Amino acid sequence: MSSQTDATGRRLIHRRQVECQGFLRPDGLWDIEGRLSDSKTHAVTLHSGRYLQAGQIYHGMLIRLTLDDEFIIHEIDVQMPAVPTSECRGAAAAYAKLVGVRIGAGFTRQIKQLFGGTGGCVHLTELLLPIATTAFQTIPMGRAMVAPRTAEDTQAYTRATRTLVDTCYALRADGPLGPDLQQD
């Protein structure tokens, strides 16, 4: 990755890429994976003295959460193949505290309490937020449209969408979609 300038003359300096994916496992559980990578468009020497070439990833991290249909975390896998210093990897073990936690209301507050400050890695903690969103995009719709477990799964998805009323501008109760979301 070399220095890049766009049509307006802006010069790209830093690139962060976040990708999340949701998978249905053969055992009926769900794997939600998030990957984060940071790189620079120029060479840089880190505080540790390590030299990075332009485009070299210096934050390369993965979190995989295994969830059940109720969003309870059964397993967590944290990998940190690229980090600025080996000290970073010491934070990975702390995330085992998430086993048994339910992703739902208050999850953001809980992860900030558990892993804020020196309790974890800021990059891993930030990555948990889009992973949680990906879980909500994966599991209800997956059960309703791809892998229903019961005859009620499609209705459960419809009921779940009702909980989205007033969670954002487009889904406001007094907006054009609000009445459709509130119907029985």
Q: Per residue in 42-73, pLDDT tens? A: 999 988 888 999 999 999 999 999 999 999 99
Higher pLDDT: 3 or 1? It is 3
Average pLDDT over residues 115-140: 95
- Indicate the pTM of the whole model: 0.85
| 11: amino acid identity, one letter | R
Higher pLDDT: 108 or 177? It is 108
Average pLDDT over residues 12-32: 96
Checking if the pLDDT of 35 tops 60, the result is yes
Is residue 82 within 8 A of residue 70, CB to CB? The reply is no
Whole-angstrom Cα distance, residue 78 to residue 168? Answer: 31
How does pLDDT run across 70-114, given as a tens digit for each residue? 999 999 999 999 999 889 999 999 999 999 999 999 999 999 999
| 34: amino acid identity, one letter | G
Residue 120, token pair as written in the block? 């974890």
133 contact partners, CB below 8 Å, separation of at least 6 = 20
Confidence of residue 156 (pLDDT cuts 50, 70, 90): low
Decide the pairing of beta strands 14-24 and 51-52: unpaired
Average pLDDT over residues 123-132: 97
Whole-angstrom Cα distance, residue 131 to residue 57? Answer: 21
Confidence of residue 145 (pLDDT cuts 50, 70, 90): confident
